[in-house]
Amino acid sequence: MLAAIDWSAPWLAPWRARGAAVAHSVRSGMAQTAALNEAARAPVRFVPQSALPSGVAYEQYIFDTGRVPTRDGLHDFFNGLVWHALPLTKQRLNALQAAQIERTGVRPVRGPARDALTLFDENAALLQAPDALWQALVAKDWPRLFGDLRPLWREAQLLLFGHALMEKLVAPRKSMCAHVYRVLAAERSMDSIDAWLAQDLSADQLAAKPFAHLPVLGVPGWWAANENPAFYQDVSVFRPPRARDTGHEVTTQLVRRK
């Protein structure tokens, strides 16, 4: 499945050097866990999914052991890349998950905090952008966001974080959306973003869903078809705001770990 990744895709540019090397090792016959461990920067070790004991929560196991149960395939491959590139943020999310488990236990239905933490981990994208661009995104003012303000995208950086989102974009479709979190780090390097996020994130904050909804193939430069203004007139994708929208609350179907 890793052979299906198009490393020339613009959304994978920040991940290309590290990811292509790991994918090459796997395609050359190395076990996926071994290839991720060989990359060596992550503060965790990747182990086969079978290492996760029955009845133990995935997040709790990582917190207790520093080992990440990993399945072969795209989903856990991208998860491993995020652990390598943004380790402080991944550790912070894991610690917040473990704290919620300690507080409420493992329930058949996750509470709002754990849902939000999982949503961020699976489907977030991180945006550094001028105020006007962020405000238009929150308002779902698509004509302004991708029309009047289109030149401002040259001053913005959108970094994919959610490994499920990256997995889905291996076969891109116009309807694919990210839950965008605004990053106010002073610099755009992954290390700077990682350090800022690890300090910024909290369970209560994420439970309030401070996200904006973005069809990612609408990002200028990410998809050739969006050079035509008609691309954004598809209201099944670029939906107008509803009367009850706050501009921040969004919903998604979470990808859950079995």
At 230, list the tokens: 């008609």
Same-domain check for residues 36 and 113: yes
Domain end among 82, 117, 152: 117
Residue 256 clears pLDDT 60, i.e. is over it: no
Could you report the per-residue pLDDT of 115-132, keeping only the tens digit for each? 999 999 999 999 999 999
CB count within 10 Å of CB 1 equals: 13
Per-residue CA distances from 8 to 17, 78, 153, 158 (Å): 11, 16, 20, 16
Q: Which residue has the higher pLDDT, 27 or 40?
A: 27
Same-domain check for residues 78 and 142: no
What is the dihedral angle through the alpha carbons of 48, 74, 89, 117, rounded to the nearest 10 degrees? -90
Same-domain check for residues 66 and 156: no
Tell me, yes or no, whether 250 lies in a domain.
no
Same-domain check for residues 131 and 221: yes
Q: How confident is the model at residue 40, as a pLDDT?
A: 77
Asked whether 72 and 32 are in contact (CB, 8 A), the reply is: yes
107 is in which domain, residue-wise?
14-117
- Cα 214 to Cα 202: distance, rounded to the nearest angstrom: 22
Tell me, yes or no, whether 108 lies in a domain.
yes
Same-domain check for residues 100 and 149: no
Same-domain check for residues 135 and 222: yes
Name the average pLDDT for the chain. Answer: 92
Could you report the per-residue pLDDT of 66-103, keeping only the tens digit for each? 999 999 999 999 999 999 999 999 999 999 999 999 98
Same-domain check for residues 92 and 134: no
Of 108-122, 135-149, 186-200, least confident by mean pLDDT is: 108-122
Could you report the per-residue pLDDT of 236-247, keeping only the tens digit for each? 999 998 765 543
Same-domain check for residues 144 and 181: yes
Residue 247 backbone zone (phi > 0: left; psi -120 to 50: alpha; other: beta): left
Fill in the amino acid letter for 13: A
Question: pTM value?
Answer: 0.91
Tell me, yes or no, whether 253 lies in a domain.
no
**Close Cβ partners of 57 (under 8 Å, ≥ 6 residues apart):** 101, 106
* Type and span of the H or E element at 160: strand 157-160
Tell me, yes or no, whether 145 lies in a domain.
yes
Same-domain check for residues 175 and 127: yes
Tell me, yes or no, whether 238 lies in a domain.
no
**Close Cβ partners of 186 (under 8 Å, ≥ 6 residues apart):** 192, 196
Tell me, yes or no, whether 245 lies in a domain.
no
Same-domain check for residues 71 and 45: yes
What is the dihedral angle through the alpha carbons of 100, 111, 239, 211, rounded to the nearest 10 degrees? -20
Number of structural domains in the chain: 2
